[in-house]
Protein backbone atom coordinates (compact mmCIF):
# COMPACT_ATOMS: atom_id res chain seq x y z
CA UNK A 1 0.00 0.00 0.00
CA UNK A 2 1.14 3.55 -0.64
CA UNK A 3 2.73 5.17 2.38
CA UNK A 4 1.23 8.19 4.08
CA UNK A 5 -1.06 9.42 6.83
CA UNK A 6 -3.75 12.03 7.13
CA UNK A 7 -3.13 15.16 9.14
CA UNK A 8 -6.39 14.77 11.03
CA UNK A 9 -6.53 13.17 14.46
CA UNK A 10 -10.25 12.43 14.42
CA UNK A 11 -11.50 8.86 14.31
CA UNK A 12 -12.44 7.97 10.75
CA UNK A 13 -16.07 7.15 10.01
CA UNK A 14 -16.88 3.71 8.70
CA UNK A 15 -13.99 1.83 10.30
CA UNK A 16 -14.32 -1.18 12.53
CA UNK A 17 -13.07 -0.67 16.12
CA UNK A 18 -10.83 -3.39 17.51
CA UNK A 19 -12.89 -6.10 19.18
CA UNK A 20 -12.13 -9.41 20.86
CA UNK A 21 -9.97 -11.74 18.79
CA UNK A 22 -6.23 -12.33 18.44
CA UNK A 23 -3.95 -10.85 21.10
CA UNK A 24 -2.90 -7.48 19.63
CA UNK A 25 -0.27 -6.56 22.21
CA UNK A 26 2.51 -7.32 19.69
CA UNK A 27 1.14 -4.89 17.08
CA UNK A 28 3.59 -2.07 16.38
CA UNK A 29 3.17 1.47 15.07
CA UNK A 30 6.18 2.77 13.15
CA UNK A 31 6.62 6.51 13.71
CA UNK A 32 9.15 9.15 12.77
CA UNK A 33 11.71 9.41 15.55
CA UNK A 34 11.24 13.19 15.51
CA UNK A 35 7.56 12.86 16.48
CA UNK A 36 6.76 14.41 19.87
CA UNK A 37 5.17 12.14 22.45
CA UNK A 38 1.94 14.13 22.33
CA UNK A 39 1.51 13.81 18.55
CA UNK A 40 2.60 10.37 17.40
CA UNK A 41 -0.29 10.03 14.97
CA UNK A 42 1.03 12.60 12.51
CA UNK A 43 4.36 10.77 12.51
CA UNK A 44 2.92 7.28 11.95
CA UNK A 45 3.77 5.93 8.50
CA UNK A 46 3.50 2.12 8.71
CA UNK A 47 2.77 -0.77 11.02
CA UNK A 48 4.62 -3.88 12.10
CA UNK A 49 4.54 -6.72 14.59
CA UNK A 50 6.89 -7.85 17.36
CA UNK A 51 8.20 -11.35 16.53
CA UNK A 52 10.99 -11.52 19.15
CA UNK A 53 11.70 -9.26 22.13
CA UNK A 54 14.05 -7.13 20.02
CA UNK A 55 12.66 -7.75 16.49
CA UNK A 56 9.84 -6.13 14.53
CA UNK A 57 8.62 -7.56 11.22
CA UNK A 58 7.30 -5.03 8.69
CA UNK A 59 7.12 -4.46 4.93
CA UNK A 60 10.43 -3.67 3.24
CA UNK A 61 8.96 -0.78 1.25
CA UNK A 62 8.13 0.98 4.53
CA UNK A 63 11.78 1.38 5.47
CA UNK A 64 13.69 0.99 2.21
CA UNK A 65 14.77 4.64 2.10
CA UNK A 66 14.89 5.29 5.84
CA UNK A 67 17.80 5.38 8.26
CA UNK A 68 17.40 3.30 11.44
CA UNK A 69 17.79 6.42 13.59
CA UNK A 70 14.78 8.00 11.87
CA UNK A 71 12.36 5.22 12.91
CA UNK A 72 10.85 4.43 16.30
CA UNK A 73 8.72 1.37 17.07
CA UNK A 74 5.78 1.77 19.46
CA UNK A 75 5.10 -1.78 20.65
CA UNK A 76 1.52 -2.45 21.72
CA UNK A 77 0.28 0.81 20.25
CA UNK A 78 -3.38 1.58 19.81
CA UNK A 79 -4.43 5.16 20.49
CA UNK A 80 -2.14 7.63 18.69
CA UNK A 81 -4.54 10.57 18.99
CA UNK A 82 -3.08 13.96 19.75
CA UNK A 83 -2.69 14.73 23.46
CA UNK A 84 -4.11 11.32 24.41
CA UNK A 85 -2.33 8.64 26.46
CA UNK A 86 -0.46 6.32 24.08
CA UNK A 87 -0.33 2.73 25.30
CA UNK A 88 2.72 0.67 24.52
CA UNK A 89 6.45 1.19 24.70
CA UNK A 90 8.44 3.35 22.29
CA UNK A 91 11.75 1.75 21.31
CA UNK A 92 14.58 2.90 19.05
CA UNK A 93 15.61 1.00 15.92
CA UNK A 94 19.27 -0.02 15.75
CA UNK A 95 19.34 -1.77 12.38
CA UNK A 96 17.11 -2.39 9.36
CA UNK A 97 17.47 -5.75 7.54
CA UNK A 98 15.49 -6.14 4.29
CA UNK A 99 14.67 -9.65 3.16
CA UNK A 100 17.41 -10.76 0.72
CA UNK A 101 15.10 -11.54 -2.21
CA UNK A 102 14.54 -7.84 -2.79
CA UNK A 103 11.14 -6.79 -4.06
CA UNK A 104 9.85 -10.34 -4.49
CA UNK A 105 9.38 -10.67 -0.73
CA UNK A 106 8.24 -7.36 0.73
CA UNK A 107 9.56 -7.89 4.25
CA UNK A 108 12.12 -6.34 6.57
CA UNK A 109 13.27 -6.81 10.15
CA UNK A 110 13.86 -3.92 12.52
CA UNK A 111 16.40 -4.79 15.20
CA UNK A 112 15.61 -2.75 18.31
CA UNK A 113 18.08 -1.18 20.70
CA UNK A 114 16.26 -2.71 23.67
CA UNK A 115 13.99 -5.63 24.40
CA UNK A 116 10.24 -5.25 24.66
CA UNK A 117 8.51 -6.93 27.60
CA UNK A 118 5.48 -7.78 25.44
CA UNK A 119 5.00 -11.41 24.40
CA UNK A 120 5.95 -11.61 20.70
CA UNK A 121 3.58 -12.99 18.11
CA UNK A 122 4.53 -16.31 16.56
CA UNK A 123 5.25 -17.10 12.93
CA UNK A 124 3.80 -20.26 11.40
CA UNK A 125 5.98 -22.89 9.81
CA UNK A 126 6.23 -22.74 6.03
CA UNK A 127 4.04 -25.82 5.62
CA UNK A 128 1.27 -24.80 8.03
CA UNK A 129 -2.18 -24.52 6.50
CA UNK A 130 -3.52 -21.00 6.05
CA UNK A 131 -6.94 -20.48 7.63
CA UNK A 132 -9.85 -19.19 5.58
CA UNK A 133 -9.91 -15.82 7.33
CA UNK A 134 -7.92 -13.60 9.68
CA UNK A 135 -7.76 -9.96 10.79
CA UNK A 136 -5.43 -7.08 9.91
CA UNK A 137 -4.66 -4.47 12.57
CA UNK A 138 -3.39 -1.02 11.60
CA UNK A 139 -4.01 2.68 11.11
CA UNK A 140 -4.98 2.76 7.42
CA UNK A 141 -7.36 5.20 5.77
CA UNK A 142 -10.95 4.33 4.94
CA UNK A 143 -10.26 4.68 1.20
CA UNK A 144 -8.13 6.80 -1.10
CA UNK A 145 -8.75 10.41 -0.20
CA UNK A 146 -10.35 9.32 3.06
CA UNK A 147 -9.22 10.02 6.58
CA UNK A 148 -7.02 7.81 8.72
CA UNK A 149 -8.09 6.93 12.25
CA UNK A 150 -5.79 7.82 15.11
CA UNK A 151 -7.10 4.69 16.85
CA UNK A 152 -5.95 1.32 15.58
CA UNK A 153 -8.71 -0.51 13.71
CA UNK A 154 -9.38 -4.06 12.62
CA UNK A 155 -10.04 -5.22 9.05
CA UNK A 156 -11.54 -8.73 8.78
CA UNK A 157 -10.04 -10.47 5.75
CA UNK A 158 -10.96 -13.50 3.68
CA UNK A 159 -8.13 -15.23 1.82
CA UNK A 160 -8.65 -15.91 -1.88
CA UNK A 161 -7.26 -18.74 -4.04
CA UNK A 162 -3.84 -18.30 -5.61
CA UNK A 163 -5.28 -18.34 -9.14
CA UNK A 164 -7.53 -15.33 -8.41
CA UNK A 165 -4.57 -13.51 -6.93
CA UNK A 166 -2.38 -14.34 -9.93
CA UNK A 167 -5.07 -13.14 -12.34
CA UNK A 168 -5.37 -9.83 -10.50
CA UNK A 169 -1.61 -9.28 -10.50
CA UNK A 170 -1.08 -10.24 -14.16
CA UNK A 171 -3.82 -7.78 -15.13
CA UNK A 172 -1.53 -5.10 -13.70
CA UNK A 173 1.56 -6.50 -15.43
CA UNK A 174 2.95 -7.86 -12.14
CA UNK A 175 4.39 -11.35 -11.78
CA UNK A 176 2.72 -13.31 -8.95
CA UNK A 177 4.73 -15.23 -6.36
CA UNK A 178 2.15 -17.45 -4.62
CA UNK A 179 4.72 -19.20 -2.43
CA UNK A 180 5.76 -15.80 -1.05
CA UNK A 181 2.44 -14.00 -0.94
CA UNK A 182 -1.07 -14.30 0.46
CA UNK A 183 -4.00 -12.53 -1.12
CA UNK A 184 -7.21 -11.47 0.56
CA UNK A 185 -10.33 -9.35 0.23
CA UNK A 186 -12.37 -7.78 3.05
CA UNK A 187 -14.59 -10.23 4.89
CA UNK A 188 -18.37 -9.85 5.12
CA UNK A 189 -18.12 -7.83 8.35
CA UNK A 190 -15.48 -5.41 7.06
CA UNK A 191 -16.21 -1.75 6.45
CA UNK A 192 -13.00 -1.02 4.53
CA UNK A 193 -10.12 -2.68 2.74
CA UNK A 194 -6.52 -2.31 3.85
CA UNK A 195 -5.28 1.03 2.56
CA UNK A 196 -2.71 3.81 2.87
CA UNK A 197 -1.12 3.74 6.31
CA UNK A 198 -1.63 -0.02 6.75
CA UNK A 199 1.61 -1.06 5.04
CA UNK A 200 3.65 -3.44 7.17
CA UNK A 201 0.77 -4.01 9.58
CA UNK A 202 0.14 -7.62 10.60
CA UNK A 203 -2.59 -10.06 9.66
CA UNK A 204 -3.21 -12.06 12.83
CA UNK A 205 -4.96 -15.28 13.74
CA UNK A 206 -5.42 -17.27 16.92
CA UNK A 207 -5.45 -16.16 20.53
CA UNK A 208 -2.46 -15.43 22.76
CA UNK A 209 0.14 -15.28 21.48
CA UNK A 210 -1.30 -14.45 18.09
CA UNK A 211 0.00 -16.00 14.90
CA UNK A 212 1.28 -13.66 12.18
CA UNK A 213 0.06 -14.90 8.80
CA UNK A 214 1.37 -11.95 6.79
CA UNK A 215 2.09 -8.25 6.64
CA UNK A 216 0.39 -5.71 4.38
CA UNK A 217 2.37 -5.29 1.16
CA UNK A 218 0.35 -3.66 -1.62
CA UNK A 219 -2.93 -3.48 -3.49
CA UNK A 220 -4.22 -1.93 -6.72
CA UNK A 221 -6.54 0.34 -4.73
CA UNK A 222 -8.46 0.51 -1.47
CA UNK A 223 -11.77 -0.55 -3.02
CA UNK A 224 -13.71 -3.24 -1.18
CA UNK A 225 -13.60 -5.62 -4.15
CA UNK A 226 -9.87 -5.35 -4.79
CA UNK A 227 -7.47 -8.15 -3.86
CA UNK A 228 -4.77 -7.06 -1.42
CA UNK A 229 -1.35 -8.71 -1.39
CA UNK A 230 0.38 -9.67 1.86
CA UNK A 231 3.92 -10.93 2.42
CA UNK A 232 3.55 -14.53 3.63
CA UNK A 233 5.00 -14.84 7.14
CA UNK A 234 5.52 -18.60 7.12
CA UNK A 235 8.40 -18.42 4.65
CA UNK A 236 10.13 -15.83 6.87
CA UNK A 237 10.33 -17.92 10.02
CA UNK A 238 13.88 -19.26 9.69
CA UNK A 239 15.18 -15.89 8.47
CA UNK A 240 13.53 -14.18 11.42
CA UNK A 241 14.88 -16.67 13.94
CA UNK A 242 18.37 -15.94 12.58
CA UNK A 243 17.71 -12.16 12.83
CA UNK A 244 18.04 -11.72 9.10
CA UNK A 245 21.40 -13.45 8.84
Sign (positive or negative) of CA dihedral 170, 175, 179, 181: negative
Q: Domain for residue 3, yes or no?
A: no
- Asked whether the beta carbons of 141 and 195 are under 8 A apart, the reply is yes
Q: Domain for residue 160, yes or no?
A: yes
- Asked whether the beta carbons of 28 and 73 are under 8 A apart, the reply is yes
In 3D space, the residue among 72, 88, 79, 74 whose CA is nearest the CA of residue 18 turns out to be: 79
pLDDT of res. 142: 82
Alpha-carbon gap, residue 245 to 238, rounded angstroms: 10
pLDDT of res. 146: 65
pLDDT of res. 245: 67
Q: Domain for residue 128, yes or no?
A: no
Q: Which of 73, 99, 120 is the last residue of a domain?
A: 120
Q: Domain for residue 18, yes or no?
A: no
Same-domain pairing of 158 and 222: yes
Q: Which of 120, 146, 179 is the last residue of a domain?
A: 120
Q: Domain for residue 231, yes or no?
A: yes
- Asked whether the beta carbons of 10 and 147 are under 8 A apart, the reply is yes
Give residue-wise pLDDT tens across range 79-124.
Answer: 888 777 777 899 999 999 999 976 789 999 999 999 999 999 999 9
Same-domain pairing of 51 and 115: yes
Output the pTM of the full model. 0.88
Same-domain pairing of 76 and 144: no
Q: Which of 57, 86, 120 is the last residue of a domain?
A: 120
pLDDT of res. 20: 53
In 3D space, the residue among 48, 95, 60, 21 whose CA is nearest the CA of residue 180 turns out to be: 60
| Beta strands, E only, 179-220 | 181-186, 202-205, 211-218
Q: How many domains would you assign to the chain?
A: 2
Which CATH number fits the domain that encloses residue 161? 2.40.10.10
Q: Domain for residue 8, yes or no?
A: no
Domain that holds residue 65: 27-120
pLDDT < 70: residue spans in the chain: 1-20, 102, 144-146, 244-245
pLDDT of res. 92: 97
Same-domain pairing of 36 and 70: yes
Amino acid sequence: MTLGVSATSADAPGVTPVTAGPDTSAVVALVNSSSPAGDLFNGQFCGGVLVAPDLVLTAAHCVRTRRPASVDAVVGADNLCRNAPVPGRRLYVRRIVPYPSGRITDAALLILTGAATTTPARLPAAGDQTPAAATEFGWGRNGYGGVAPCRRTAVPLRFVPANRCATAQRALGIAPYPDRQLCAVPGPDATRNTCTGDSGSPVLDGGSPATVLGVVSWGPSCRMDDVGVYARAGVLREWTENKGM
